[in-house]
Amino acid sequence: MKALVYHGPGEKAWEEVPDPVIRDTTDAIVRIESTTICGTDLHILKGDTPEVEAGRILGHEAVGTVEAVGAGVTSIRPGDRVLVSCISACARCEYCREGHQGQCTGGGGWIFGYMIDGTQAEYVRVPFADTSTYRVPEGVADEEILMLADILPTGYEVGVLNGRVAPGQTVAVVGAGPVGLAAITGARLYTPSHVIAIDLADTRLTAAAEFGADLTVNNGREDAKAFVQSVTGGRGADVAIEAVGVPETFELCTSLVRPGGKVANIGVHGKPTTLHLESLWIRDITVTTGLVDATSTATLLRLVESHQINAARFVTHKFALSDILTAYDVFGRAADTGAIKVMMTR
C-alpha cells in the first residue's frame, strides 16, 4: 500500500510500504477513507520528538472501513464503517478502567503515528479495536465525523470538561488555532454568557467568531487581561483555556481567571512555565493538564448526529489521499492559506 512515511527530521515521503497485518487477537485492519493532519505531525517532522523512529507512518485520525479483525474482536466486523480514535485503549489497565485511557499502561494511549504506524496510509492496523473505534451512524459524512478522532474530544475533554465550563460563565480561550476552535465549539455546548477568544492573528480571531466566540481580543494590540476584567465587571474569567503551549500564554491564563476560577491547559508545552504562587496561593485556583482520553467520543457522535455540533466546519481544504504532500504544504502554511484542518480522502 501507499503511506506517508517519516524519514527523520524534515524528511517525509508518500511511498509504497507493506500492507499492515493482524498481529494481536485484539487488532483490526481498517481501510482508510479519510484522514487529516495534526499540528503534532508537524512537530514530529521538525524533529521535536526524537523518540519517533524513521520509517514510521504518521497520522492518528481516520474514518474508514473495517477490513479484518482479530479473533478477540467482538464488537466490530469487516464492512463496518468506523471512526479510528487517536487514543488506543486496552480497556483493562487501571488507567483505562478509571477513564484515563490516554494514560493507558496496557499498550495503548496515543500510539498511532508515534509508537506504531499511523493513519496517513491506505490501511492501518488498529490495536484494541473494540475499545478504540466507534461505529459511524448511518448518513453521517466523513467530514462531519473525522474531527472526532482527536481535535474535538481534545478541546472538549481537556479544555471544557477539565475547566468545568457551566451555563452563564465567562470563558477565555487563549489561542484560536484548531484546538482552540474545538474548545470554543465545546464550550458553547454549556451556554456560557461569553466566550472570549484571544490570539495574535486577526484571521484566527475571525475564525473564532465564526466558531462561537462572541468577543475577540488581539493581544498583540490589546491588553487581554484588562479586556476580560471589563467584560466581567472586574471579576475575571470563570475559566481560561490554554490552547497554545508556551509559557507566556499559560501565565496569561492564570492572570485572567477570577478567585475560584479554572485554568485548563490543552497546549503541548516544550518548556517549564512560571506559576505565580506568591499571588495565586490564596485565590482558589485550579489548574489542569491532560491528554485526551476519548471518553467523550460517543457523546460527540450523538451531538453530530443530532446536528448540535457542526464538525465539518473545521475542514477548510480537501485533497485526495494521494495528494497528501500538497495537503501537508497547505496545512503547514496555515497563516497564509487560512487552513484550519485539511482532509484527505481515498
- Which 40-59 positions form the footprint of its own copies (CB under 8 A)? none
Q: Is 95 in the site for its own copies (CB under 8 A)?
A: yes
Task: Read off φ and ψ for residue 222, nearest 5 degrees.
Answer: -120, 160
Within positions 2 to 41, which residues make up the interface with its own copies, using CB under 8 A? 24-26
275 vs 312 by CB, closer to its own copies: 275
CA neighbor of 90 nearest in space, from 106, 72, 112, 75: 106
> Cα separation of 304 and 159, whole Å?
19
> Cα separation of 159 and 153, whole Å?
9
Interacting span for its own copies (CB under 8 A) from 54-62, 70-78, 111-119, 204-212? 70-78
Pattern 285-324, its own copies, x by CB under 8 A: xxxxxxx---x--xxx-xx-xx-x----------------
121 vs 303 by CB, closer to its own copies: 303
DSSP state letter for 64: E
36 vs 170 by CB, closer to its own copies: 170
> Cα separation of 123 and 121, whole Å?
5
Q: Where are the alpha helices (DSSP H) in 39-177?
A: 39-46, 94-97, 142-145, 151-153
Q: How far is the CB of 329 from its own copies (least distance, A)?
A: 28
Whether the CB-CB separation of 165 and 187 falls below 8 Å is answered with: yes
> Cα separation of 28 and 68, whole Å?
6
Pattern 119-158, its own copies, x by CB under 8 A: -----------xx---------------------------
In the list 20, 64, 106, 113, the residue contacting its own copies (rule: CB under 8 A) is 106
Q: Is 271 in the site for its own copies (CB under 8 A)?
A: yes
Interacting span for its own copies (CB under 8 A) from 59-67, 96-104, 199-207, 218-226? 96-104
Tally Cβ neighbours within 10 Å of residue 119: 28
